[in-house]
Amino acid sequence: MLKILIAVISIGLSLNAADPWINIILYHRVLVKTEAAYDVSVEDFENQMEYLKASYDIISLSDALDYITRAKELKNNSVVITFDDGDVSIYNNAFPILKKYRFPFSVFIYTNIVKEGPHAMKWNHMKQMLAYGAEIGSHSVSHGYLHKRLKEESEEQYLARLRHELVDSKNLLEAEFGLPVRYFAYPYGRYNETVKEEANKAGYEAILTVRGYENFPGDDPMRLNRRVVQRSTTPESFIKTFTVQQRKSLNDGDKDF
């Protein structure tokens, strides 16, 4: 697969935007044998990381935020690697490959997953990743839909549930790791203006969606774009992720995503 990837790098480079941008990519599970649509095989993940190593600057989410808020100047197209949920395959299969290439990365944890058995990472797994230099963000407490009220839920109850999901997950992660939790990823990528406002009040400095576009300096850090990598992602579509702009107008308001 690497030969296929390298063969099209020159094509991809000719398609880069004139102004540098940041792609944030999202994985969920990295398995020897994929099971669900959002899985990526270990073989594909290794090949994708090898392509990125040869082609782009791989930066941390914190560095990306510095560029987006214009605290630093972005000179080259760059990539941020993120994972959602907290499946143990991130630790078992992805982490060794990321260490091999010395890549920074971020993991967004919904805190209830720690209780959910052998498929979930435990606190000691996350602490090892933090010691390596990874960043941990919140993905809520229960990974529920936050963008709409539940049936029979009053406005006051809805706000209380939002604050529980946003604040309590942040507090638990900070207490467990002794570090500030600066970032939040919307469960399912879904949000509305109320969720965004409450996340801001909770003290998050940046929030990630799953809108599949690039990020440019000056963008709103409270709704950063991410592109999902999954089982159906071919070598060609993976490369296209980084070489062809998919960006739509940002004048689309804060409707549900």
What are the residues whose beta carbons fall under 8 Å from the beta carbon of 252, sequence distance 6 or more? Answer: none
Give per-residue pLDDT as tens, 179-191: 999 999 999 888 7
Nearest to 92 by CA among 60, 129, 136, 38: 129
The CATH number corresponding to 2-12+21-243 among 3.20.20.370, 2.60.120.650, 2.40.50.100, 3.40.50.300 equals 3.20.20.370
Cα Rg of the chain (Å, integer): 18
Provide the 10 A C-beta neighbour count for residue 25.
21
Taking CA atoms, 255 is separated from 109, 192, 211, 249, in Å, by: 25, 6, 12, 13
Provide the 3-class DSSP secondary structure of residue 91: helix
Query: Which amino acid does the sequence have at 154?
Result: S
Average pLDDT for 155-180: 95
Domain ranges across the chain: 2-12+21-243
pLDDT for 247: 63
Q: Read off the pLDDT band of 145 (50, 70, 90).
A: confident
Nearest to 65 by CA among 106, 16, 111: 106
The Cα–Cα gap between 64 and 78 comes to: 8
Higher pLDDT, residue 214 or 8: 214
pLDDT for 18: 61
The predicted model scores a pTM of 0.90
On the 0-12 / 13-18 / 19+ scale of CB atoms within 10 A, 191 is buried
Q: Read off the pLDDT band of 147 (50, 70, 90).
A: confident
- Residue 140 in this model has a pLDDT that exceeds 60: yes
